[in-house]
Amino acid sequence: MASPAQDLRLTARRAREREIVETTKALFDAQGMQDAPITNIARAVGINKALIYRHFSSKEELFVLTETLYLDDLSERLSGIDPELAPVDQLREASERFTGFCLEYPAFLDCSLSLMRRPARELQARVSEAVWFRLGQGMARCLGLISQILERGAREGVFALEDPDFTANHLYTQVLGTMHLARIGVGVRQVAPGVPGVFRLSAEKVRQACIQDAMALVGARGAS
């Protein structure tokens, strides 16, 4: 059994770790993920950079835990969808809330896509089992809410899909990729043979296209 002193040290350690993760998220929101290096995070917390690595085994571990904060917020938004709505309208509402979240927190896109750039087994090898489990919990909460909508829609015959869990993952990843267009803000086209050009992209246009893609992916019928 741990002594009172050990319990106190553990509580203090967990509080400091929470502070570091919350500070990282705040810096991501304010500056973007690429402009929030470990040195800046440590400075914002008021500790030496080396102390960051006494709490986290790698930069990836800190970023994974930051991602879990975003996922907690996203799942809270998705859980607020009216359960009395028809499945088609629930999916549209979920898409609107998800894409709105991506616009409000562009660093969530950066963090999510950064963590997805490598096979899962490689990321898992760079974080602790507890941190990996927390990421899984956060993902499962969000994806589970989407999967429930898809399963109900398939059961009622308004969605054309066979595997709600796969489709939920497909939709989640599709939204992240498409909404990154809004993050970039421009598209590329050929203005003459061999001559590229760029054109501005409206964030709202990207968002609406993303929602339409989601409805088309599941073969939604009967939208109000």
Q: Judge if 1-55 and 58-217 fold alike in CATH terms.
A: no
Q: Which residues, 6+ apart, have CB-to-CB distance to 141 below 8 Å? A: 71, 72, 75
Q: Which CATH architecture has domain 1-55?
A: Orthogonal Bundle (1.10)
pTM (2 d.p.): 0.87
Distance separating alpha carbons of residues 26 and 221, to the nearest angstrom = 40
Q: With respect to CATH, is domain 58-217 assigned 1.10.357.10?
A: yes
Whether the CA torsion 195, 198, 199, 201 is positive or negative: it is positive
Domain boundaries, the chain: 1-55, 58-217
Q: pLDDT tens string for the chain (224 positions)?
A: 656 665 566 566 678 788 888 888 888 888 777 767 788 888 888 887 877 888 888 888 888 999 999 999 999 999 999 999 999 999 999 999 999 999 999 989 988 998 888 899 999 998 999 999 999 999 999 999 999 999 999 999 999 999 999 999 999 999 999 999 998 999 999 999 999 999 999 999 999 999 999 999 999 875 54
Helices and strands of the chain, counted as H and E runs: 10, 2
